[in-house]
Structures are given as C-alpha cells and as structure tokens.
Amino acid sequence: MDRSSHARSRRFAPAVALAAAAALTLAGCSSSSGGKKADEDSDSGASAGKANTPRMTVALVTHQAPGDTFWDIVRKGAQAAADKDNVKLVYSADPNAGNQANLVQNAIDQKVDGIAVTLAKPDALRSVLDKAEKAGIPVVGLNSGLADWKKLGLMEFFGQDESVAGEALGKRLNEDGAKKAVCVIHEQGNVGLTQRCDGVKKTFEGSIENLYVNGTDMPSVKSTVTAKLKQDGGIDHLITLGAPFAMTAVQSVDESGSKAKVATFDLNKELTGAIEKGDIEFAVDQQPYLQGYLAVDGLWLYKNNGNYSGGGEQPVLTGPAFVDKTNVKAVAEFASKGTR
Amino acid sequence: MSMAQQAEPAVTTPPAPGPKQTDGRTRERSMALRVLARPEVGVFLGAVAVFVFFLIAAPTLRDGGSMATVLYQSSTIGIMALPVALLMIGGEFDLSAGVAVVTSALTAGMLSYQLTMNVWMGVVVALVASLAVGAFNGWVLVKTGLPSFLVTLATFLVLQGVNLAVTKLVTGNVATDDISDMDGFDQAKALFASSFDVGGVEVKITVVWWLVFAALATWVLLRTKYGNWIFAVGGSQESARAVGVPVTFTKITLFMLVGFGAWFVGMHQLFSFNTVQSGEGVGQELIYIAAAVIGGCLLTGGYGSAIGPVFGAFMFGMVNQGIVFAGWNPDWFKAFLGVMLLGAVLINLYVRRAATRR
C-alpha cells in the first residue's frame, strides 16, 4: 500500500511539475510587450479560391540549405499556387548538386506531372534533365540558372539575373555617392552570390572588394565584418547578400564606430523594419515568393491551357526590385507574414 | 608545480610521459623543461607566435578595439571549447555541440514568443532542454557502449532536423520571431550579450564569462575529485571503474556540461541577434573540437588541460580575424586559415616533443 502510493506519486511528479510550470506561466511570467499576442492579428498568406481542374502533382527540387529564410519564402509561393491550382506539391531540396540530381530522378520515378528545378550547378543536372524529357515530363527552371535553362531544354524560367541585379545595385551606389564598398559573401564558392558581387563591381565607379564570412555562425559573421571595418576606415558601404546578414552588419557598423551604410540583397520581416528605421539603406528584392508561385502556376497553365510564359524563349524576371524607405511600408505588411 | 603534478591522473598511461614519472631518468629534468611539457605550453607559444605575426602583418590590429573583436570571436568559440575539452579528456567527443547551440537558442526564442512569456522562462526551459540533450547523449553512450562518434552523430542529425522542422511547425517560418521588445530581454541581454568599457575599448561580456569558466574548469580539473575522475575515465575506463570511479556519472555529467556550454552560447546568440535562423550551427562542432585539440587535448582522451583550449580558441579567433585585419585576398581565406592552424599546431607539437625528450 505504502509502496504503491509512493510509486504513484513518483509517476505523477513530472505531470505535477508541468502543471505547476504552466500555471506559473499563466500567472506571472507573461510578457506585457511583443511576442505572439502582439502579432496575432496578421493572418497568413494570400489565397484566391481554388481551381476545379484535375488534380496534378508537381515536384519542386531546389538547392536550399536547411533552415534558410529565403527558400522558405520560395516554398510558400509554390505552395500558394499549388493550393489554388489543385496541385499536389512535392518539395525536396539538397545543396549538394549530386544529391539534387537524385531528387529530380526521384520525382521522375514518381511520374509527377511537372518538375520545377533550380540550376545552381547546371552541369550536374544535365543527364537527369534529359531523362525527364524522355519521360515526357515538362520541366521549368527557377531562381538560378538564367544562363543555362534553354541549353538544358527547360520550358520556362522564373528568376532574377544575378549579374543584372548586382549591376543595378552598383548604379544605385553611384547615385548615393559611395566611394568604397565591401561585398560580404556568406558562402564561399556559391556561384550566384559571386555573380552578384561581380555585377556590382561592373557598374560601381568606386572601389569594391569581397569579404568572406562563415554564414553558419553569426558571432563569427559579426566579428569578421567588424574587423574589416576597423581595418579600413574608408569603407562607406557594406553590401550583404542575405537579409539576416544585413541585420548583423548593422551591429558591426555600430560596434566598429564606422559610418558605413548597409545595403543588401533579399528581404525578410526584420529587414523591412530596419529599412523603415533607416538602419539599412535599401534591399534588392528578387521576390522569391513570385519565383515559387510562377513556377508551379506555369506548369499548371501548360498542362491545362498549353501556355508558355516568356514564349519559351525569354526568361520571366522577378527582380531586381528595390525596397527602400519610400516603398517599404507597402512591402512590410507582406514581409511580416513571411511571404516577401 | 604541485598543480601540474596533480593534473596527472593516478590510473592513466598518457602517451607523452608526464612530469610525475620519476623513474630515475627524468629526475634531473629542469623546472623549465617540466613547464614546457605541460599540455598548454605548446599552444601558448603557438598563440604568441601567431599573435606577434599578425601584430607585424596587420597594423590596425594594434588598436585596442581590434583586439576586443578578436577576443569576442575567440570567446564564442572558447566558451564551448572548454566543456568540449573536458569531455575529450574524459575520452569522448560530441559532434552535436554545434547544432545544440542553435537548438537552445531556438527553444528559448520560440517558447517566449509563442506563449508571450517573460524571456527568462524561455531561458530556463532552454537550459533544461540543453542539459537533457547532453544527458541523453551520455546515457545512450554508457548504456549501449556505442562509440561517441556514432551516438553524437545521430544526435547531430536529429537536432538538425528537429531545429528546422519544429521551428517551421511553430513559427511558420524557418527563423524565430524577434523577441527584442519582450519583458526580461534587456536583463537577459545584459547577462549574455552586453559589453562594457575598458579604457575606451568596448569589451564583450562573453570574454569575461569565457575566462571565468576557464578558471572554474581549471580548478575542477586540478583540484577536485571530479577532475581526477575525468582524467581517470579518459585514460582507461575499465581501470577507473576498478578503482571505484563512478564512470557512468562522470561521462553523463561531462556530456551535460557540453549541454550547458551550448545553452550559454545559444543564449548569447539569441540575445545578441534577437532572432535565430534554424539552419545555423552546422560545422561549428569541428571548430570547438579543433580548439580543444590545438589546445593540447588528445583525441584519445586522458590528457589535456582547461587552459590549453583557451589559447586554442584564441588562436582560432586571432587567425580568423587577423587575415581580415591584414587585408589579404579573401579568396585564399580558408587556405590561410588552414595553413596558420597547422603551423601553430606543429609549433605546439615540437615544443612538447622537445620538452619531453630525454
């Protein structure tokens, strides 16, 4: 008797502790500012009814690294189009080119009705894309591979020309009177990122150099950028290639006592706030949501109406669009939902 | 030198003969040689060499503020390198240490935000979660007898997946929401991510914590029974068990110490950047292990110190930032880093060999 009650009390101890913690939470530990409560009024994503066309399956295969905010937005766009078009979306991703090719093969084996693929390393995908063609599966490209999508026999392409985006940013820097800029690359060896910096270099009239940082470790990013600013006091503009790195660069500027301004590629919801506050000058947006959305929608249109976006000859450009103080208000609302 | 002598475990057979082995041939060795034979001395000289090298190569590094940047980078590596080193002296290592940092930060960030709680609740729950991950690693290891490589590799993969999937499930995005406007944030930031002024130089609080933890770890390793247990289980688990060392307890608590370190660094990241991306942290585990190994800890266990990894982490931060301060062509960055580290470790090795040679 004694023993069993002891055992029971032991069994219940975690539950009691949990309940106590929950009670404590509700009682006194809630935050009076910020948090989910403050954001609760915003609902999620765009919705536009649903097509009654036959159910089809589309595979979206990207070179996303796990946990990257940018790719999350691409996927949301693709999902929104899939929901609207009565499409079953199969998403898979791997930053390793060989593995990405295997994922495309996997989609072919599943006999999907269409494949949307990114071409970060086009040569690695060549043979598997031939197989898709032989299997009669329409394939569209998105995001990266602007120079290669036609050579590889893809039907359409949705994305931004990274060099053109870089060139646009370079021109903008000239207008802002920049003299010396640093392009912060958060992944050494990534072709698209390097193209952006090269694009900036092409049009920018001042001097520019690249700086590599370890993108998987924010404290390291922060100290490396700080070190660069201290090493060269003449730097007046920092260019980052992803929104989270822009936010960190702002801290580096503060800490180093530099007067450098920060401009960036790509957006997220923290970034729109920083543009409003003036911490960040502007962002070059390639509209990842649009890329995902159009890729899926393009395949749907092809299947149901035989349409080719861009006539099958020209890419459909989703950027570069500038987001700065003048237009950030309109964008911020969507960014807070994680779709811009 | 009594400290040095106590560091030598009673039941181990370190590959490099330590100063305590007085078999008649080493009795005459001078004080200087005995100092040189300590595990941390080689890395200390290596760190000094790298430091002097960059002072010459990079003029801007001579500024106090620049040194603060180097120390900051070193501290975020160093705080984790300490428990990783203790674990390594205990004969195991932890591949999940890098992503565990992010797991902790994500837990605290999401919990506070989603439940709109004071951020301290998130901080405490994250501590519990981090210790639990460490305890799980240690428990599985001890219960199954599997090598730590396998156990912690599994944890590494699981945490990587969980970090991403749970974050996406809870927030709808792959990064946590900004918690900088919530109750308790400023206090937590003061503890984990503030900085203070020393003669016009902004020094990060992590540097202080790093040195405090290093002193604590040194004391534990050299002055406590637990420290002896660590050396003992790392040297020979069976002999340790035979002389009554609680092997299971020691190993599990060592993994939990790594969990504590991951929590601390995770909190620093959360309160210094306000949000956390769920894909971060991958690859950092190798840097922590590298700092410990450069610091004189053997991959095979049973030998090492807590102060060595401090210099190991400093060397890593120094090289990392020194290359930037020197303004070298960044395309070569990783290659420079590798060459400098290998060079420093060779100095380390040479000094130890020279000192222990008869």
Chain segment B92-108, per-residue pLDDT in tens: 999 999 999 999 999 99
Chain segment A176-190, per-residue pLDDT in tens: 999 999 999 998 877
Q: In three state form, how does the secondary structure of A89-150 look?
A: EEEEECCCHHHHHHHHHHHHHCCCCEEEEECCCHHHHHHHHHHHHHCCCCEEEEECCCCCCC
A25 phi-psi bin (left φ>0, alpha ψ -120 to 50, beta other): alpha
CA distance B148 to B50: 33
- Strand-pairing partners, residue A262, are A238, A280
**Which residue from B168, B176, B134 is spatially nearest to B151, judged by alpha carbons?**
B134
> Å from A276 to nearest chain B CA?
16
Contact B83, B260 (CB under 8 A): yes
Residue B9: pLDDT above 50?
Answer: no
pLDDT at position B341 is 75
**Which residue from B26, B107, B23 is spatially nearest to B356, judged by alpha carbons?**
B26
Residue B21: pLDDT above 80?
Answer: no
Mean pLDDT of chain A: 87
Q: Which residues are CB-neighbours of A235 under 8 A, at least 6 positions away?
A: A180, A181, A182, A228, A229, A258, A260
Residue B8: pLDDT above 50?
Answer: no
> Which of A69, A228, A251 is the closest to B173 by Cβ?
A69
Q: Which residues are CB-neighbours of B232 under 8 A, at least 6 positions away?
A: B9, B10, B11, B12, B239, B240, B243, B245, B250
Cβ under 8 Å to B: A residues 269-308: 270, 273
pLDDT at position B199 is 86
Mean pLDDT of chain B: 87
pLDDT at position A35 is 76
Residue B110: pLDDT above 70?
Answer: yes
pLDDT at position B263 is 97
Residue A9: pLDDT above 80?
Answer: no
- Mean pLDDT value across residues B327-336: 79
pLDDT at position B1 is 36
- Mean pLDDT value across residues A71-90: 93
In terms of DSSP H, where are the helices of A188-287?
A: 191-203, 218-231, 243-256, 269-277
Residue B35: pLDDT above 80?
Answer: no
Q: CA-based angle B108:A76:A46, to the nearest 5?
A: 110
CA distance B280 to A49: 37
Chain segment A287-324, per-residue pLDDT in tens: 999 999 999 999 999 999 999 888 888 999 998 889 99
CA distance A280 to A217: 21
> Which of A34, A44, A216 is the closest to B280 by Cβ?
A216
pTM assigned to the model: 0.80
CA distance A73 to A321: 16
Burial class (CB in 10 A: 0-12, 13-18, 19+), A17: exposed
Which residues in chain B touch residue A219, judged by CB atoms under 8 angstroms apart? 72-73, 76, 268-269, 272
- Mean pLDDT value across residues A211-233: 92
Residue B2: pLDDT above 70?
Answer: no
pLDDT at position B196 is 92
pLDDT at position B5 is 43
Lowest mean pLDDT among A30-39, A206-215, A226-235: A30-39
Contact B203, B308 (CB under 8 A): no
Chain segment B259-293, per-residue pLDDT in tens: 999 999 999 999 999 988 888 888 899 999 999 98
pLDDT classification of B118: cutoffs 50, 70, 90: very high
- Mean pLDDT value across residues A244-260: 93
**Minimal-distance CA residue of chain A relative to B69:** A223
- Mean pLDDT value across residues B73-78: 95
Chain segment A140-177, per-residue pLDDT in tens: 999 988 888 999 999 999 998 888 899 999 999 999 99
Q: In 3-state terms, what secondary structure has residue B130?
A: helix
CA B184 from chain centre, in angstroms, equals 28
pLDDT at position B10 is 47
Question: Do A251 and B272 count as a contact with CB atoms less than 8 A apart?
Answer: yes
pLDDT at position B174 is 82
ipTM comes to 0.76
> Å from B23 to nearest chain A CA?
48
**Minimal-distance CA residue of chain B relative to A252:** B69
What is the count of residue pairs from A and B with beta carbons less than 8 Å apart?
170
pLDDT at position B130 is 97
Chain segment B220-250, per-residue pLDDT in tens: 999 999 999 999 999 999 999 999 999 999 9
Which residues in chain A touch residue B330, judged by CB atoms under 8 angstroms apart? 209-212
**Minimal-distance CA residue of chain B relative to A185:** B330
- Mean pLDDT value across residues A3-27: 59
Please indicate whether residue B9 or residue A319 has the higher confidence score (pLDDT). Answer: A319
